[in-house]
Amino acid sequence: MESYNRPWGIAGGWAIDLFVGHVTREHSDIEIAIFREDQQRLKSVLDDWSFKKVVMRQLVEWESETLELPIHELHGVHKTTGHGLEVLLNECVNSQWVFRRDTKINFPGSSLFLVSEGQIPFLHPVIVLLYKSKNTREKDHADFLTVKDLLDREDKAWLRNTLTLHAPGHSWITQLE
């Protein structure tokens, strides 16, 4: 990603670990988040990777077409090493990240990616947790417990308000007060 000069960051559980500064659990994959508008730039920079798009839960070869919603997920395989990478396409409108599951929810695009002490960009933990709030698994709840007390007051309020809108009654809401 050194030659990719657009905003990006590690996503998922690894983003949580980068936020807290150490590994908190095992991870099965590596996910990165980029803005949808930068998908062609990513593909040109990672020309030694082959990519498939997820279409109705099926992996389909991604040629050169511009991907639009509902497609938001790519799976890449390095052509030589076989290493895998999941790419999550994120919406951005007027410099605001827009939640693809509910377009009333947004976040400043300039604050979407943070940088670890080791200079690795990662997706803001409140965004990671918002995605994890749907069909919460044990590892997602563990990630929430790891992060919730490290969030500042403003981020806790944003996540609480957003969960109240997106997932009313979610168990995390009362833990963010």
The domain that holds 109 is classified in CATH as 3.30.460.40
Residue 173 lies in a domain: no
Structure tokens at 70: 């509902």
pLDDT at 176: 94
Residue 88 lies in a domain: yes
With b for 16 or more beta-carbon neighbours within 10 A and e for fewer, the 6-27 pattern comes to ebbbbbbbbbbbbbeeeebeee
For residue 165, the SS3 value is: helix
pTM: 0.93
Residue 155 lies in a domain: no
Spatial CA neighbour of 113 closest among 39, 34, 41: 34
pLDDT at 130: 97
Residue 160 lies in a domain: no
The domain containing residue 97 runs over which residues?
A: 8-125+145-150
pLDDT at 6: 94
pLDDT at 28: 85
Residue 157 lies in a domain: no
User: What is the number of structural domains in the chain?
Assistant: 1
Residue 174 lies in a domain: no
Residues with pLDDT less than 50, the chain:
none
pLDDT at 135: 86
| 99, amino acid identity | F
Q: Is residue 123 within 8 Å of 33, Cβ to Cβ?
A: yes
Residue 176 lies in a domain: no
Residue 40 lies in a domain: yes
pLDDT at 33: 98
Q: Is residue 9 within 8 Å of 33, Cβ to Cβ?
A: yes
